[in-house]
């Protein structure tokens, strides 16, 4: 049994019951005719208008991650993404001559099936609209806990209308190419049927879910785009620690820690600080003051029972160990943990950060594996930052960004330019053809 919450341009609060994926497949493939003719500039204008509608909805803006999402959907940002991924937006509209009588066009892949993780509520929108830009139809499996916010976010597009080049284009035509479903993750049959339909599979999630998806049968022509489990941390150089800007950088890191309750792959779990004139205890005390300041704006801290238990347990462990130090709020607003183990700690979540001191920042190279997604940095020297980036990305890191921006979705992501993967690059070569004379 499949529950559809968005189907053929309509929303279903309780979920429309569908017993076969064939009905969904036929609807989505039939609706491709509505978006394939839309010029890329008109598509960008539609999505931009949709982003503006979100930004004007105060109830939506209260949802975590939505303010940045509304920025992400802005026209200028969308064009920047297309330029990074596709190079020339015209490739999405027509065959472009790249050599003498050789032409290239970026065609849609067809039906893109998305498996969305529950850790970031807005994640589904990023996945869907990157695919929509490439004019694909979209079947999206969403966790039960994320359905309400995703549907709430999608609803404004139904009313969007724009005029481009004297032609009216409708947001509902985009919506008709988005089907939101939910079914039991343990249902091998449903996952299999969904996988077998896909021209492209996009997976966001953890190790266990990834193993299941990879084992499912699929078309030999299907493209996989995998955003699997990753780990992230932060590093501060000596010059920043000894500067008047330290509190500003600590506040930026605190916001990265608070974002999505450290459930995102890009959330920091360890802070490495380069040895400086400040002791690690002094840095911690400054960080405590920053947390107290920031918590006035972000007091609510929704954490599940499992994370609560993990925090209580590790606080007890550190409180009883003479070789470890614990700094924390009386409630569960923040937890700072110090030890001398040079390693990447297993994530606890719920605003828990480990702080470790290193003699110099380049020591962290020894800890890098391809599992590392994002390293947040606070550096004064651009040259030093580039040198560190050269070393860490060579060893497997995908993203290095200044603290405060760790969980903001950008391109490339996980070492991938998603739009480039969501199209098929097609060529036409007619060099040397002899034209028939009348």
- 174/73 Cα distance (integer angstroms): 14
The H-or-E segment that residue 233 falls in is: strand 231-236
CB under 8 Å to 240, separation ≥6 — which residues? 246, 249, 378, 379, 380
Q: Residue 168: exposed, middle, or buried by beta-carbon count in 10 A (0-12, 13-18, 19+)?
A: exposed
The residue with tokens 């947040």 is: 376
Identify the pLDDT of residue 185: 86
Identify the pLDDT of residue 24: 96
Closest by alpha carbon to 380, among 258, 267, 274?
A: 274
CB under 8 Å to 4, separation ≥6 — which residues? 12, 15, 16, 17, 18, 24, 179, 180, 181
The residue with tokens 């509520």 is: 121
Identify the pLDDT of residue 397: 97
The SS3 of residue 114 is strand
Domain with CATH 3.40.605.10 in the chain: 2-228+414-429
Closest by alpha carbon to 135, among 44, 70, 201?
A: 44
Identify the pLDDT of residue 39: 98
Cα dihedral 7, 10, 11, 14, rounded to 10, equals -70
Which positions of the chain have pLDDT values less than 50?
437-438
Class of domain 2-228+414-429: alpha beta
- 420/423 Cα distance (integer angstroms): 6
Identify the pLDDT of residue 298: 86
Q: Can you read off the two tokens belonging to residue 222? A: 């299907």
Identify the pLDDT of residue 288: 97
Whole-structure pTM value: 0.93
Domain with CATH 3.40.309.10 in the chain: 231-402
Angle at the Cα of 386 from the Cα atoms of 383 and 387, rounded to 5 degrees: 85
Instruction: Give the model confidence (pLDDT) of 374-411 as tens digits.
Output: 999 999 999 999 999 999 999 999 999 999 999 999 99
Closest by alpha carbon to 335, among 321, 365, 355?
A: 355
65 near 260, Cβ under 8 Å?
Answer: yes
Task: Tell me which CATH code domain 231-402 carries.
Answer: 3.40.309.10
Number of other residues whose CB lies within 10 A of the CB of residue 37: 13
DSSP string of 365-429, one letter each residue = GGG--TTEEEEEEE-S-HHHHHHHHHHHHHHT--EEEETT-TTS--SSBTTB-HHHHSEEEEEEE
Instruction: Give the model confidence (pLDDT) of 173-213 as tens digits.
Output: 999 999 999 999 889 999 999 999 999 999 999 999 999 99
Q: Can you read off the two tokens belonging to residue 107? A: 């065609």
334 near 291, Cβ under 8 Å?
Answer: yes
DSSP string of 170-219, one letter each residue = EHHHHHTTEEEEE--TT-HHHHHHHHHH-SEEEEES-HHHHHHHHHS---
Identify the pLDDT of residue 241: 98
Number of other residues whose CB lies within 10 A of the CB of residue 277: 8
Closest by alpha carbon to 174, among 369, 76, 35?
A: 35
Closest by alpha carbon to 209, among 107, 284, 141, 125?
A: 141
């Amino acid at each position: 049994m499949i529950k559809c919450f968005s189907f053929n341009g309509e929303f279903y609060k309780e979920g429309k019951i569908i017993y076969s994926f064939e009905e969904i497949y036929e609807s989505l493939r039939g609706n491709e005719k509505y978006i394939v003719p839309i010029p890329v500039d008109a598509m960008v204008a539609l999505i931009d208008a949709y982003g503006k509608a979100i930004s004007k909805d105060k109830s939506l803006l209260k949802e975590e991650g939505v303010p940045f999402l509304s920025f992400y959907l802005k026209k200028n940002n969308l064009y920047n993404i297309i330029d990074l991924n596709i190079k020339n937006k015209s490739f999405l509209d027509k065959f472009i001559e790249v050599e003498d009588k050789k032409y290239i066009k970026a065609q849609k892949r067809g039906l893109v099936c998305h498996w969305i993780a529950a850790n970031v509520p807005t994640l589904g929108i990023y996945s869907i609209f990157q695919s929509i830009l490439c004019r694909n139809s979209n079947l999206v499996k969403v966790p039960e806990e994320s359905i309400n916010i995703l549907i709430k976010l999608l609803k404004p597009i139904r009313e969007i209308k724009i005029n481009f080049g004297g032609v009216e284009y409708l947001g509902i035509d985009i919506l008709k190419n988005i089907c939101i479903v939910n079914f039991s993750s343990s249902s091998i049959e449903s996952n299999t049927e969904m996988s077998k339909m896909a021209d492209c599979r996009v997976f966001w999630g953890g190790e266990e879910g990834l193993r299941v998806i990879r084992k499912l049968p699929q078309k030999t022509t299907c493209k996989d785009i995998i955003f699997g489990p990753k780990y992230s941390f932060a590093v501060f150089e000596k010059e920043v620690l000894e500067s008047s800007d330290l509190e500003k950088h600590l506040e930026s890191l605190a916001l990265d820690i608070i974002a999505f309750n450290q459930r995102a792959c890009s959330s920091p779990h360890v802070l490495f600080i380069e040895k400086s004139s400040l002791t690690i205890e002094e840095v911690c005390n400054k960080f405590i003051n920053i947390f107290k300041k920031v918590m006035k704006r972000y007091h609510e801290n929704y954490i599940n029972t499992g994370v609560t238990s993990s925090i209580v347990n590790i606080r007890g462990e550190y409180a009883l160990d003479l070789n470890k130090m614990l700094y924390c709020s009386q409630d569960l607003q923040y937890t700072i943990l110090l030890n001398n183990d040079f390693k990447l700690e297993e994530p606890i979540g719920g605003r828990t950060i480990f702080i470790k001191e290193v003699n110099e920042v380049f020591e962290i190279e020894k800890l890098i594996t391809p599992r590392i997604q994002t390293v947040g940095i606070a550096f004064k020297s651009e040259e030093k930052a580039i040198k560190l980036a050269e070393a860490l990305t060579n060893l497997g890191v995908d993203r290095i960004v200044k603290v405060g921006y760790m969980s903001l979705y950008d391109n490339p992501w996980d070492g991938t330019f998603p739009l480039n993967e969501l199209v098929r690059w097609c060529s036409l070569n007619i060099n040397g053809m002899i034209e028939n004379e009348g």
